[in-house]
Structure 1
Amino acid sequence: MTTPMYILLLLALIFANAPFLTNRLLGIFRLAHKHFGHHLLELFVGFGIMAGLAYLLESRAGSVHHQDWEFYVTVACLYLIFAFPAFVWRYFWRSKHHQ
């Protein structure tokens, strides 16, 4: 693996966990309480940013390979797995200790 691939994986880990670690919508707008819909929106936006960045890196390295739907489902599942630690902290661990 090359350095841009490691950076891309690190950014994916950060973008996947960021929605659950802050009460700001997209890291900008402060909300009193973020509900699950806000988290899903931020996950989709982060996934879109990561997909665009991955496409850009692949196009700079050479020709872009055509991908079928299986590739995108696998990448989306991997992105959700990356988000799992912060999701658990937000909905299971933190709420249990705040009571």
Structure 2
Amino acid sequence: MDISTAGWLVIAIAIAAANLPFFNDKLFAVVPAKWAPKPLFIRLLEMTALYLVVGAVGFALETQIGARFPQGWEFYAISGCMFLVLGFPGFILRYLRKAHG
């Protein structure tokens, strides 16, 4: 796998993972929840866990391609904010869209 394909793969996984908590009421889309609608703080905790999973996938792909580069706190701050931005469409559809009818 080349660098470009790995980069696009991580971006596609990040888009799917950032929106996953907002499109279903199951925990990680697998475990049935005891509550009817998931509270927002559970969705945000789920997003945090999925951010770590996407980061692990990215690091694994980077290691497979070649040497892994050391990252500072700036990288994690920017990638965390970008993950939140990628999850914004799911947030809009879940909380800000008006129900018709």
Q: Same fold (TM over 0.5)?
A: yes
Partner Cα distance (1:79, 1:5) in 2: 15
1:20-73 Cα distance to aligned partner (Å, 9 max, x none) = 000111111223220012101110111011000011011111111111111110
Alignment partner for residue 79 of structure 2, among 53, 75, 82?
Answer: 75
TM-score normalised by length of structure 1: 0.91
Structure 1 vs Structure 2 CA RMSD: 1.4
User: Matched residue pairs, number?
Assistant: 97
Equivalent of 1:48 in 38, 41, 52: 52
Q: In the alignment, what sits opposite 2:88? A: 84
CA-CA distance at 1:79 after TM superposition: 0.5
Identity %: 30
Structure 2: runs of 5+ lacking an equivalent: none
Runs of 4+ aligned residues of structure 1 deviating over 2 Å after TM superposition are none
More strand by share: 1
Higher helix share: 1
Partner amino acid, structure 1, of 2:74: E
Give ranges in structure 1 of 5+ residues lacking alignment. none
